[in-house]
Amino acid sequence: MSQQVVVTVKPRSSKGPLVETEPDGSITVYVREPATEGRANKAVAEVLASHLGVPKSKVALIGGATARTKRYRVG
C-alpha cells in the first residue's frame, strides 16, 4: 500500500541532507544539491527513502517538480 507525503524542499542547504518534522506534522527536507535539472528532486527522494526505511525505487515524485512544495508517493 502506498501513501503520499508532502514535503517542503530547501535546496542548496548547508544543513543537508536532513529531514525535519515540524510540530504541525509538516516535513521539511534540506539537501545540498541545487534545484537544477532535477538534482534536488532526486536527492530529496533518496533522503526520504533513507529516512522512511524504504528502497529508493519505492519513492516517486508525483507533483511539484518545479515547486518548493512537492508530493511524493512512498511504497
Domain spans of the chain, in order of start: 3-34+42-74
Q: Measured in Å, how far apart are the chain's first and last C-alpha atoms?
A: 6
- Cβ 62 vs Cβ 41: under 8 Å: no
Query: Is this prediction's pTM over 0.75?
Result: yes
Write down the pLDDT at residue 12.
97
What per-residue confidence (pLDDT) applies to 59?
96
Would you state the pLDDT for residue 74?
94
What confidence score (pLDDT) does residue 25 get? 86
Kindly state which CATH superfamily the domain 3-34+42-74 is placed in: YggU-like (3.30.1200.10)
**Which grid coordinates belong to 64?**
511539484
Q: Strands, E, within 1-75: which ranges?
A: 3-10, 18-21, 27-30, 59-63, 69-74
Per-residue pLDDT of the chain (75 residues; tens, 9 = 90+): 789 999 999 999 999 899 999 899 899 999 999 999 999 999 999 999 999 999 999 999 999 999 999 999 998
